[in-house]
Structure 1
Amino acid sequence: MTHTEGTTGSVLLRRVRGAEADGHSVRLAVDALPGVQLGMMPGWLTGEPLEEQGVETQMPNLPDIELPPTDVRPFEVVVAAPLPGTLRLVLAPAGDPTLADDGTGLGIVVDAGPDPQPLAAEEEADRVVVTTPALRLEVGRAPFTLRLLDRATGATVLRTADRLRQVAGLLTAPSVVASDGTTTLNLELGPDEDVLGFGEQFGRLVKNGQLLTLRSEDACGTGTGLAYKPVPLWHSSFGYTGFLNTGAVVTADVGHSRPSVLSLGVADAAVDLYVVAGEEPAARLSAYTALTGRADVPEPWAFGYWMGRCRYHSREEVLEVARGTREHAVPMDVLHLDPDWLVVDRLNTDFIWNEERFGQRKQLVEDLAEQGLRLSVWELPYLDPASPVFEEAERAGYLVRRLDGSLAGIQKTPTPDGRMRALVDFTNPAAKRWWQEMHREFLADGVAVFKTDFGEALPDDVALFDGTPPHQAHNLYPLRYNGAVSEAIREFTGRSPLVWGRSGWAGSHRYPGQWGGDAESTVAGMQATVRGGLSYAMSAPGFWSHDIGGFFGPELSPELYVRWTQMGALSPLMRAHGLRPREPWAFGERALDVCRDWVRLRYSLLPYLWQVARESAANGWPVMRPLGFHFPHDRVARSVDDAFLLGRDLLVVPVFDDGPDPVRRTFFVPEGEWFDLHDDSRYVGPGFHTVDVPLESMPVLVRGGAVLPRVEVDASVRCVDDLAGREWTLHAYGDVTPEDLAAAAPTGFDGRPATLAADPVRHGR
C-alpha cells in the first residue's frame, strides 16, 4: 500500500448536507473530510470511494492507495447580499464566531449592508442554487463546489478549481482546504483571465504568475519583494472583484504554482469573502468602498507642492528652504519636518518638541505662514524607554503586551541602539485617546498634517486590549494607527483630515493620504513606484503619492530628479523627499528651470485635479488610475504599468531615464482621440506611439471630448492660497459642443461654482 502524506489535520470541504434560507441569508451545512496528498505525485485524496473522487483507477501505474479516514468535521457556509451585484460568503467551522459577525467586527468593513438584497435558495438533486436579483450562485452538493453567474448574461464570473486534476484524476486544487490554521480557497483561472490588485505591490500590474504574501512590512525599499500596504482585494478581467475581510496574513498564488489556479490562503479558520460582480472596475470599487468607507477630499493646499528632507536639523535650515522657494519663484505649500523635531528622536514619538533646535513651535508655524507655507510633522507609534513619557504609558497600560504578559517590542525594524521600542495599543480606548490628545497642541499651533510613518512592526504573539486574535492583529495595526491620527485631526480642527501614511491594509484608503515608501533613487525605483501606485489604486482607491527623487540610494542625478518631478507634478499629491536635499535648486540651473515649469503646470491644473478629487471621493475611486480602470475590455490597456490616467481625461507617460539626452519613448494610447497637452499634437488609439522626448518634456495627453478647467499661474503665485479669486478658464479638446461646455460647471476650491473666463479655449480643432 502507498502511504499518503500531507499537512497534519488537513480537511477538504466535500458535501452539502442541507440549506436554510430566511430571505436575508442562506446557511449551508457542509461536511469536511480529512484530506491527504500522495507522497509521489501532486493531488489530494479523501476517504471517499476512488470512483466518486474521479480517480483514474485504470491507470497502469496507479499505486495501491491507502485512503484516509472519513471522520466528518462540520463546516458552515453563510451567504448574504449586502449590495446589488455583491455576495458575502463566510466559510468556517461550525460555531466559528465569524459566522455570527455582520462583517464589521474587524473595523475594515464599516457598513454591513448599504443596500441589502433579497436571497432565495432552491435545493436541487446535485446542487443548491442561491439567487439575488443580479446573481446566481450554484453550490455543488458532492463534491462541494462554487460557481457564480451573472443572471443577466448567463456568464460565469467565478468558479472554484475543482475541475482541475492531474493525470491520475486526483484533485490538484480542491475548492476549500483547511490545514494547520490556514484555510485556502482555490479558484479556477480562465485562459485569458488577468488578475490585478493585492495592494501596493511593486512588481508588474497584472499579477498572473506571481506569489504574494500579504503582510504589512517595513519593506526597506521598493525592490525587496515586501509591501508596506498590501490589501487582500483583487480584480478579475472576468468581471468581478474579490475581497477577503480579514486581518490575517493572506498568501495569493496567482497561477504561480499551478498555472490555472488562483489560490488564496488565509491564516485563519474562516474565509470571509466578498464578491462584487460587474464589467466595470469603477462600479466595483464604488461597491467596495460603500462597504469599507471613502476618503474625504483633502483641503486645496494639500494638492500643492510639498518639500521635505531626512532631515532638516534646525529652525534656520527650515526657514532657509522656505526662503529658497520664494527666491527661486517655485510654488510650494508644505514643508515637512522629519524626526529631528523630537528630543528623543530615534524610532520614538512622545510629542516633546525640541525647542533647542527649532524654537517655539507656534512661532515656526507663523514664520512659515508668512511665506505661504504650512508645516508637516513626522511621527510613528513607537516609544523608546529613554522617553520621559515611557513610564507613564507603561504604568497606564497603554502599550502592547505579549501573550505571556511581557511588554512587546517592535519586530523586524532594527533600532539604532539595540533597545526595544514599545508600541501604543490603539485597541485600548484610553491609550488611543492619550495618543490623540498629544496631537491637540500641535494642531492648535497650526501644524497642518502628520506624516504617520512606520506601523508595520507589531509582533505576532500579542495580547491586545480588545482581544483581537494575535493572527489578526499585525495587519490591522496600521489601519488603527492611521485612523486614530486622522480622527484626531478631524476632531481638533473641524476640517477634512490628512495624514501621510506609509503602512496600510484594507480600509486604509479612507484615511488619506498614503505614499509609496522608501523608493531607491534609481530608474528602477521610479518604475517600481509607478507600479506600486497603480496596484494600490485598484485596491485602496483614494489619494496616493510618492517621494520625488526616491528616498535613498546612489547619488540622484539631476536628470532623474527632473524626470521624477515631471511625474510627481501629475500625481495625486506631490512631495519631494529623501535622505539628501530634494530642493530643485540643489540640482543646477537647468533642473531648476525645468522643475519650476512643471510645478507651475501642476498649479495651473489644480482646478482639474480638484474636480477629479471630488469625483473620486464621491464614488470611491482612485485619483491615479490604471488605463484599464476606464478601458477594462482592452487587454493591452489593462496591462499597462508604465503610464497612468490622472482622472479620466489626462494620460501621463513618465520617462524612465537618468541621462541628459532626449529619450525615445514608446507608449500605449487607449481608444479614441488624444491631444498633447503642450502642443495639441493628435494621437489616435488604441495603439502604440513613439516620440522623442527631451529632458524638458514628458508626454501628457488629453482625451478628446474633455473639458479641463485651468487657472493662470505666473511668478506671483507662491501657493494654492494665491489662486483664490482668480478666474478659471475651460479648455476644450476635440469635438466639444456648447452643451458640453455648459455642463462642465466646475466647483471652485471653496465649494461654490468657480468663476469662469467668458471664452473657453479650444484645442485640436
Structure 2
Amino acid sequence: MKFTDGFWLVREGVDIAYATDVRDVRTQSKRFTAHAAVKKVTRRGDTLNAPLLTVDCFSPAEGVIGVRVTHHAGRRHPGPDFALPGAVDDAGEVRQDGSVTELTSGPLTLCLDRSGPWTLSFRDAGGRELTRADAKSTAYATTGEGAHHMLTRLGLGVGEQVYGLGERFTPFVKNGQVVDVWQADGGTSSEQAYKNVPFYLSSRGYGVFVNHPGAVSFEVGSESVGQVQFSVEDQTLEYFVVAGPTPKDVLSRYTALTGRPALPPAWSFGLWLTTSFTTSYDEQTVMSFVDGMAERGIPLSVFHFDCFWMREYQWCDFEWDPDVFPDPEGMLARLKEKGLRISAWINPYIAQKSPLFDEAAQLGHLVRTPAGDVWQWDLWQAGMGLVDFTSAEARAWFQSKLKPLLDQGVDSFKTDFGERIPTDVVWHDGSDPERMHNYYAHLYNRTVFELLEKERGQGEAVLFARSATAGGQQYPVHWGGDCWSSFGAMSESLRGGLSLSLSGFGFWSHDIGGFEGTPDPAVFKRWLAFGLLSSHSRLHGSSSYRVPWEFGEEAVEVARRFTLLKHRLMPYLYGASAEAHRTGVPVMRPMVLEFPEDPACRPVDRQYMLGSDLLVAPVFTEDGEVEVYLPAGTWTHLLTGERVTGPVWRTEHHGFDSLPLYVREGALLPLGADDRRPDGDWLDAPTLLVHPTSSPRYTAAVTVPDLTGAPAATFRARRDGDLLKVTAEGTDRPFTVRVPGGESAEGSGEVTVRLG
C-alpha cells in the first residue's frame, strides 16, 4: 500500500507519523526497548499531545533479530499467530556503549544510536551494514477511512535484489513490484497467489519475515525506490531480520524458526496420474489408464481420483459415487495389487446437499456469521459452508470423515482450495477474521497431514496441497495451482515454484501439460521432461485426459524415458530431499541459491538446480531452442556426455527426448540400478558417476539414504595422480564407477579407475 505522493508529499487523506527522536532506551541483558517520539523534542512542552512509538528489539533464535513497533498497545489480540516451533527465549546479547545500544545474535547485530536521527542498522559479523530503517522508515499512518496502519521501510543497496514472498508468478526478481500477501484463487497468470508468505530473501545475504498472518502489503522498491516497505492494518508491526551470509544460511535459519519440511515417502516421488477434473471416468476408465501405462512401459506410482469420485453437488461428503464406483473397496484393492498408491481429492467445504452439512451445522463445526447463522455461498459448491478448523472438535470431526477412506486404502489426499476465506465471519476460537484469511490453509493442511501421520506412520504422510502460508512447508507436497496448457504457462509455473522455494518450501510440483485447456503435443512433451525433473511429478488436467498416448507415440516415449530416468536418480534425489528435511534448503533451487557469488545467476528464472549437482533448463519452445547459462566450471551433459566449460551462455537445440541437463564439476552422482520404481533398493548395484575437478587433490563424498532418509552408505572419491579411487562405507555390495572421458570399473569396498 502506498502512503506517499512522490518524495515530498503524502497522499490525500493520509497522515503519517515517523519515529524521529529516541527519548529513552531500556536495556536488559538480552533485549532492549526504545521509545521514539514522532517529532523532535526540544522542550518539555513538545512531549504533550504527541504520540510515542514503542520499539522492542529481541532475538527469537540464533542469527535472527526481531523488531516490534507499537503505537497503541491496548488493542485486543485475538490471534491467530504464526507458530514458531524454533523460537527460544532471548537468544541475543545486549551491549551498551555511551549512546549506542547493540543487540547481537549469532552473526547479526542491530545498532541504535540515540544521539542522532532515528536509525536501526542491521550488520553482519564483519560489521558490514546489510540494511537499515532510517529516518522516515518506522511509522504509523492513518487514512481518511479511519484505518490505522503500521509500516517499516528497510533500505536496499545498489544492485540489491529481492526474492520470495510466496509462490508468485510475476517476475522472479521482485524489485519494482507491489505484492499483497493475501490468499486468492487466481490461477498462475495473475499477480494473485495461492501461497502467500510474508518473507523475502535478499541477494545481499539476509532475509526479512513479517510476523503477521493477515494482510501484509509490500512495496518492493515500488514506492520509495531504494527501500522495501511493508505495512499492516494494525497497531503493532513485528518483523524479523534473518542472517546469512549465504542464501542457504538464511533459509536454514528461517525454516528452523518456522518449521522444517517433513520428508515425503520415497514412493511419492514417482509418477502420479489422475482422472483429470471434469472428464468422464469410472473404474473401467481408471483401469484402462493404469493398464495402458503398464503396457507402454511407463511405471506409475500413484493414481489420483479428482473431485467427481464423489457425487455432484455433495463435495465434500467423503463418499464414493455409488453409480460410478459401486465397489470402491474392491477397486482400490485391485489398484493396490498393481503396486499403486492411491490419492483422493478433498476440500474444506461442505455443500448444502451433502448429508454432512446438517451434521456439521448442528455440531457447530461450520463457520458462522456475526448474526449466528452458518456462513454460506454458492461459489464453487451450492450453499456450501466452511469447516471451522479453529475448533479442536471440528478438526477431529473432519479427520473422522477421512479415516474410513484410509481404511479403504487411500494413501494421500489432495487438499485443494482453502484460499477464498471470508472476513465477515465469526470463528470458534474468536480469531480475527482478517488474520485468519491467510492462516486458514495452514490449519486445514495440518489437520489432514496429522491424520496421515497418525494412521500411516511418520514418514508416510504426504499431501498434494494448493494453498499455504508461512510454516506450511512442514506439510508437503505443494503444487502450483491452475495453469493454462501453453509454453507461457509452463514458464510462469516455474517462476512460481522458484519463488516458493526461496520462501522456505522444500518440495513443489505442477500439472504436467497444464490444467486448463488441452496442450498441443509439443507443449505436453516439453512439460513431461520438466515435470519429471521436479521434486514431484503429476499428470493432471481439467477437461481432458493427460495419459501420454492421447498426445502421440512420441509422447509415450518421452514419458517413459524421463520416468525411468527419475527412478534412476532417486538415490541422489532422496538425498537432496533428506537435506531439505534436515536443513530447509529446497530440492529445486534457483540458480542464485546455489551460485550467489555469480551475478549472472541472480535474475535467472528459466532454469534451476535439482539438488546441488544437477542443472535443469526446461525447453519452452516447440522447435527445441533453449538458452542456458552454465556457471564457472566444467559441466557434463547427463544424457549425451558433452562437456562444456563455463561461465557461458549457450543456445542449444534439443529434441523432445532431451533438454539441458548438466552435472556439476566435482559431483559424485549416485544412480540406482532399478528404474522400475522410485522406492527400490538403491544399494543394489548402484552406479557412481564421478565428475572430478582438475585439482590433483580432488575429493568428494556422497551419502545414499535409506527409505527413511537416514544414511545407508557413503561413497568417497579421491584423486591420486591419474587414478581415481572410490571407497564405500556402510555397504559391501558391488557398485560401478564411471568417469566422463575415463574408465568404468565395477567392484566392492574400493574401486579404482583411470582418468582420461
Per the normalisation by structure 2, the TM-score is 0.88
**SS of residue paired to 1:563:** helix
Offset, 1:699: 0.8
Superposed CA offset, 1:602-657 (max 9, x none): 11111111111111110011110001111112222121100000010000010002
Residues 520-557 of structure 1 show CA distances to partners (whole Å, capped at 9, x for unaligned) of 1011100001100000000032111100001003x311
2:133 alignment partner, one of 138, 160, 166:
160
Structure 2, gaps ≥5 residues long: 1-7, 714-730, 742-755
**After alignment, is 643-652 or 492-501 more displaced?**
492-501
2:444 pairs with one of 470, 473, 481? 481
SS of residue paired to 1:600: helix
Please say if residues 231 and 540 of structure 1, whose CA atoms lie closer than 8 Å, have aligned partners that are also in contact. no
SS in 1 for 2:464: coil
> 5+ unaligned residues in a row in structure 1: which ranges?
34-46, 53-67, 163-172
CA contact (8 A) 2:462 2:475 kept: yes
Q: What is aligned with 1:425? A: 388
Cα distance between partner residues in 1 of 2:182 and 2:173: 19
Verify: 1:666 aligned to 2:672, yes or no.
no
1:350 aligns with 2:317: yes
CA distance in 2, matches of 1:594, 1:239: 40
Distance in 2 between the 1:98 and 1:537 partners?
A: 35
Alignment of 1:122 with 2:96, yes or no, is yes
SS in 2 for 1:357: coil
Q: Distance in 1 between matches of 2:514 and 2:589?
A: 21
Matched residues in 2 for 1:738 and 1:464: separation? Answer: 66
The answer to whether residue 734 in structure 2 is matched with residue 757 in structure 1 is yes
Task: Tell me the distance in 1 between the aligned counterparts of 2:527 and 2:594.
Answer: 25
Question: How far apart are the structure 1 equivalents of 2:20 and 2:225?
Answer: 24
Deviation of 1:693 (Å): 1.5
- Aligned partners of 1:725 and 1:85: how far apart in 2? 39
Give the C-alpha shift of residue 741 in structure 1: 7.8
Is residue 666 of structure 2 the alignment partner of residue 698 of structure 1? no
In the aligned structure 2, how far is the partner of 1:587 from the partner of 1:344?
29
Q: Which of 473, 479, 492 in structure 2 is aligned with 1:509?
A: 473
Find the aligned partners of 1:3 and 1:569 in 2 and give their Cα distance: 52
- Map 1:490-529 → 2, pairs under 5 A: 490-496=453-459, 497-529=461-493
- Amino acid of the structure 2 residue aligned with 1:25: R
| Alpha carbons of structure 1 residues 398 and 678: separation in structure 2 relative to 1, 3 Å | same
Match of 2:177 among 203, 210, 214: 210
Between 719-728 and 330-339, the greater mean CA deviation after superposition: 719-728
More deviation, 459-468/449-458: 459-468
Q: Deviations over 1:712-759 (max 9, x none)?
A: 346xx2x33565773322111133999988842412335462565333
Question: Residue 144 of structure 1 corresponds to which residue in structure 2?
Answer: 118
CA distance in 2, matches of 1:654, 1:740: 31
Tell me what 1:393 maps to.
360
Helix, strand or coil at the partner of 1:475: helix
Is this contact kept in 1: 2:418–2:440, CA < 8 A?
A: yes
Partner of 1:71: 49
Matched, 1:25 2:31: yes
Q: Does residue 106 of the first structure (1) align with residue 81 of the second (2)? A: yes
Equivalent AA in structure 2 for residue 138 of structure 1: C
Q: Residues 510-589 of structure 1: matches in 2 within 5 Å? A: 510-553=474-517, 555-579=518-542, 580-589=544-553
Once the two structures are TM-superposed, the CA of residue 476 in structure 1 deviates from its matched residue by: 0.3
User: What residue number does 1:318 align with?
Assistant: 286
Secondary structure in 2 matching 1:291: helix
Amino acid at match of 1:373: L
Pick from 691, 695, 703 the counterpart of residue 733 of structure 1: 691
1:118 to 1:595, Cα distance in 2 relative to 1, 3 A: closer
Aligned AA (2:684): R
Question: Who is 1:134 aligned against?
Answer: 107
Alignment deviations for residues 404-462 of structure 1 (CA, whole Å, 9 cap, x no partner): 4332236xx9336xx33211110111001100111111112221110000000111122
Calculate percent identity across the aligned residue pairs: 33
Q: How does 1:677-716 map to 2 (within 5 A)?
A: 677-713=638-674
Q: Aligned in 2, Cα 1:97/1:278: closer, same or farther, shift over 3 Å?
A: farther
Partner of 2:617: 653
Higher mean C-alpha displacement, 491-500 vs 475-484: 491-500
Q: Is the 8 A contact 1:268 1:471 kept in 2?
A: no
Provide the secondary structure at the position in 1 that maps to 2:20.
strand
SS in 2 for 1:671: strand
1:300-332 deviation digits (Å, cap 9, x = unpaired): 100000011114531221111111111111011
Match of 1:454 in 2: 417
Mapped partners of 2:161, 2:11: distance in 1? 34
Q: Which amino acid aligns with 1:251?
A: S
Partner SS for 2:560: helix
Counterpart CA distance in 2 for 1:486 and 1:740 is 44
1:184 paired residue number: 151
Counterpart position of 2:583 = 619
Q: Is the 8 A contact 2:243 2:253 kept in 1?
A: no
Aligned to 1:64: none
CA distance 1:17–1:758, shift in 2 (3 Å): same
- The alpha carbon displacement at 1:297 in A equals 1.1
| Partners of 2:166 and 2:195 within 8 A in 1 | yes
1:123-176 Cα shifts (integer Å, max 9, x gaps): 644x543344533322354643211112x31111111253xxxxxxxxxx5332
Cα displacement string for residues 698-723 of structure 1 (whole angstroms, at most 9, x for unaligned residues): 11000111111112346xx2x33565
Q: 1:233 maps to what in 2?
A: 199
Q: SS of the counterpart of 1:535?
A: helix
The two structures have a TM-score, normalised by structure 1, of: 0.87
Aligned to 1:590: 554
Distance 2:326 2:408 in 1: 13
- Deviation string 1:551-589 (CA, Å, 9 cap, x unpaired) is 003x31111101000011110001110011111111111
RMSD: 2.7
Correspondence for 2:705: 747
Q: Contact 1:667–1:688 (CA<8 Å) still a contact in 2? A: yes
Give, as a single letter, the amino acid of the residue that structure 1 aligns with 2:291. Answer: R
Residue in 2 that maps onto 1:41: none
Cα 1:302–1:71 shift into 2, 3 Å: same
Amino acid at match of 1:636: A
Letter in 2 for 1:559: A
Structure 1 stretch displaced more, 152-161 or 452-461: 152-161
Tell me, yes or no, if the aligned pair for 1:674 and 1:704 is still in contact at 8 Å: yes
SS at match of 2:219: strand
SS in structure 1 at match of 2:631: strand
607-616 or 683-692, larger mean C-alpha shift: 683-692
Cα deviation code 1:38-80 (max 9, x no counterpart):
xxxxxxxxx979xx9xxxxxxxxxxxxxxx9973223322111
Q: Does 1:307 align with 2:273?
A: yes
Pick from 402, 420, 423 the counterpart of residue 369 of structure 2: 402
- 1:338 match: 306
**3-state SS, counterpart of residue 636 of structure 1:** helix
Given candidates 565, 574, 578, the residue that maps to 1:610 is 574
Q: What amino acid maps onto 2:162 in structure 1?
A: V
Q: Distance in 2 between matches of 1:681 and 1:564?
A: 23
SS at match of 2:19: strand
Q: Across the two proteins, how many residue pairs are aligned to each other?
A: 705
Aligned pairs for 1:39-58 (under 5 A) are none
Question: Which stretches of structure 1, 4 residues or longer, exceed 6 Å deviation after superposition?
Answer: 2-5, 736-742
| Residues 330 and 596, structure 1, Cα contact 8 Å, conserved in 2 | yes
Task: Confirm or deny: 8 A CA contact 1:146 1:175 kept in the other structure.
Answer: no
Distance 1:195 1:562 in 2: 33
1:208-246 CA distance string (max 9 Å, x none): 111111111111x21122101011000112221000111
Structure 1 pair 118–506 and aligned structure 2 pair: CA distance change class (3 A)? closer
Asked whether the equivalents of residues 30 and 93 of structure 2 are also in contact (C-alpha less than 8 Å), the reply is yes
